[in-house]
Amino acid sequence: AQTVTQSQPEMSVQEAETVTLSCTYDTSENNYYLFWYKQPPSRQMILVIRQEAYKQQNATENRFSVNFQKAAKSFSLKISDSQLGDTAMYFCAFTQRDFQGAQKLVFGQGTRLTINP
Amino acid sequence: DAGVTQSPTHLIKTRGQQVTLRCSPKSGHDTVSWYQQALGQGPQFIFQYYEEEERQRGNFPDRFSGHQFPNYSSELNVNALLLGDSALYLCASNLFRGTYNEQFFGPGTRLTVL
């Protein structure tokens, strides 16, 4: 069974600072996808960034980037130039890559990130 | 382009009652998954529907059941409600053989069991 662990329940930084959220996962699969989702107080889960395990290059989306270490099964999220709107719960998630169809998402426990003015 | 919609937004029930939650997938999607998110926790997978059949199921009792309609919308039914069923119920949709298995989430239904 796959598991996802986020070891930082809460983090807090000042606006414009850089913050890194940690995530580790456990799987025996070789082909899979990893995601970071953001859940603001409005509750809507929003995809921040995705990483395909078979790609060595780390994914980047504007101010968001990941550090994907496949051998270490580590998938951290870096937020640069943090903004007040980045305040939210962040969830790391894993899904198996399956050509037969979609698979379930396995989520970590979440990290509550607060950006202070 | 309409995203994933869920109804109702909030619901209050008492122990032993039954509840039905509804979800309409994002336009063009054919697969619906349901997740339970307890307060302060990550979402837990309940089940997934494709072609009107339950395709995968998480570790939830038979009190949790679902249905998918020909228009791809879905219902989640919970019988004999327990206090522990109080949670945010999230619906997610995707294209069954789409790239990245990316799932799009609705805003959720907050269920409170008294």
Question: How far apart are alpha carbons B9 and B100 in whole angstroms?
Answer: 29
Question: How far apart are alpha carbons B66 and B93 in whole angstroms?
Answer: 14
CATH architecture of the domain formed by A3-116: Sandwich (2.60)
The domain that holds B21 is classified in CATH as: 2.60.40.10
Interface residues from chain A to B (CB-CB < 8 Å): 4, 6, 33, 35, 37, 42-47, 50, 52, 91, 93, 95-99, 101-110
Structure tokens at A44: 């809507």
What's the pLDDT tens digit per position in A11-67? 999 999 999 999 999 998 888 899 999 999 877 899 999 999 988 899 999 999 999
Q: What is the domain count for chain B?
A: 1
Report chain B residues whose CB lies below 8 A from the CB of A44.
105-108
What's the pLDDT tens digit per position in B75-112? 999 999 999 999 999 999 998 876 666 889 999 999 99
The domain limits of chain A are 3-116
In total, chain A counts a number of residues equal to 117
Q: Does B107 contact chain A (CB < 8 Å)?
A: yes
- Residue B83, sorted as left (phi over 0), alpha (psi -120 to 50) or beta, turns out to be alpha
Phi then psi dihedrals of residue B101, to 5 deg:
50, 30
Q: Containing H/E element for A73?
A: none
In B42-101, the residues whose Cβ lies within 8 Å of chain A are 42-45, 48, 50, 55-56, 58, 88, 90, 92, 94-98, 100-101
Sign of CA dihedral A114, A45, A108, A16: negative
